[in-house]
């Protein structure tokens, strides 16, 4: 449902499968195989050779740090055959790391591929993809670094406690 409802302006959908025991990997691979979206090619910055010169020492240090930080993340494998152009990317953790590790792996992939704006969306469909534009545009157009969406502050939102009280009535 989350994949199917993603707006067309979203260039990449990164799915991190944290050793789930359901059919997440096979279902996502089916979506990857059937997706006909044509994307510009991305290159993993860590895979490229770095040409050192007298002016880019700081960039070289950052490049080396990015390569080293991979060791700090949950071990994983990219399932895609066409990972540079596929719209949907499937990252399969090879060790369970829970939700925080999954989010971190997604962020790391986006950082390493120069993605300009990322949004975390749970696979259970709790966030309306129609809200992505209002979340992403300030980051893209207004030099905003980070946007947080709160269910509690949305118009018409009620707290979990209020919902449970109403359910009891």
pLDDT band with cut points at 50, 70 and 90 for residue 159: low
Pairing state of beta strands 13-17 and 88-93? parallel
Cα Rg for the chain, rounded, in angstroms? Answer: 19
Q: How many CA atoms within 13 Å lie on the side-chain side of 96? A: 4
pLDDT in tens, 5-60: 999 999 999 999 999 999 999 999 999 999 988 888 888 888 877 788 889 899 88
pTM of the model: 0.82
The two most distant CA atoms of the chain are separated, in Å, by 72
pLDDT in tens, 64-108: 898 899 899 999 999 999 989 999 999 999 999 999 999 999 999
Phi, psi of 91 (to 5 degrees): -105, 120
- Is 16:96 a contact under the CB 8 Å cutoff? no
Burial class (CB in 10 A: 0-12, 13-18, 19+), 162: exposed
- Is 25:94 a contact under the CB 8 Å cutoff? no
Angle at the Cα of 15 (from 72 to 33), degrees rounded to 5? 130
């Amino acid at each position: 449902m989350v994949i199917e409802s993603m707006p067309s302006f979203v260039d990449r959908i990164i799915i991190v499968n944290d050793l789930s025991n359901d059919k997440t990997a096979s279902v996502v691979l089916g979506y990857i195989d059937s997706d006909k979206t044509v994307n510009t090619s991305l290159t993993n910055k860590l895979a490229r050779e770095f040409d050192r010169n007298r002016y880019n020492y700081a960039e070289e240090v950052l490049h080396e740090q990015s390569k080293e930080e991979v060791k700090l993340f949950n071990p994983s494998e990219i399932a895609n055959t066409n990972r540079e152009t596929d719209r949907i990317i499937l990252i399969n953790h090879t060790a369970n790391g829970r939700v925080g590790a999954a989010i971190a792996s997604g962020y790391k992939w986006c950082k390493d591929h120069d993605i300009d704006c990322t949004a975390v969306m749970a696979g259970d469909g709790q966030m309306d993809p129609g809200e992505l534009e209002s979340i992403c545009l300030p980051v893209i157009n207004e030099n905003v670094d980070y946007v947080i969406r709160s269910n509690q502050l949305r118009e018409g939102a009620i707290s979990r406690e209020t919902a449970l009280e109403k359910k009891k009535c």
